[in-house]
Amino acid sequence: MAKILILSTSTGYGHDQAANSFKEILLAENNQVLVYDFLKSNKILNGSVVNGYELCANSLRLLYGIGYKITNNSFINKLNGIIFSSVCKSLLKVIDSYKPELIITTHPLCVSILSKLKKKNFISLPIISVVTDFKAHYTYISQEIDAYITASESTKNHMITKGINKNNIFSLGIPLRKEFYNSNKITKIHKTNNYFNILLMGGGMGLN
């Protein structure tokens, strides 16, 4: 049994969903798991990041796209380390209090925070980053991360081009709620040779 800390925050809900799905999987293996919102200690940053994301994703998509491209460079993690310095301190307190054996993060913004703590030797724990996007933004990229889990081989290859060692990337897919693994008896009854499935997917804020 391992003691595991999972870090996420609520931008678009997908990161939280991945965190909670991981929790289900790990609890089933008799691990001790804590899911923690790493931004909740700073109300200003939390409100700015979460509300800002929802505003841009829903109403200012062009601005969001421009911002994504501008920040998709290696400098962004150093900048995030400065912006989220107060979060570093509060997160370190949580880590020291909970004393996990492993840290998993499902949110890219947490990568720079954990990397900063590791570079300064405040923590030496193994860190796994779960890449919930199909194309990894530079906020995911850090040599301080011990292992990455990606949704696909394509995501893995994309991260390799950004300098991540291929041996540290595992294309295992994005964790799902256990309900997705339940078989559908009705589908089995009606399934024929020309039957096909349609998977309709959307973000946490719905489909347009």
Q: Which residues pair with 129 in a beta bridge?
A: 105, 148
Supply the DSSP symbol for 203: B
- Name the band, by pLDDT with cuts 50, 70 and 90, for residue 205: low
CATH of 3-181, one of 3.40.50.720, 3.40.50.620, 3.40.50.2300, 3.30.1490.20: 3.40.50.2300
pTM of the full structure: 0.83
> Amino acid identity, residue 67?
G
194 burial via Cβ count (<10 Å: 0-12, 13-18, 19+): exposed
CB 130 within 8 A of CB 151: no
Span 46-73, pLDDT tens digits: 666 666 666 666 666 787 778 778 888 8
Name the residue ranges covered by the structural domains of the chain. Answer: 3-181
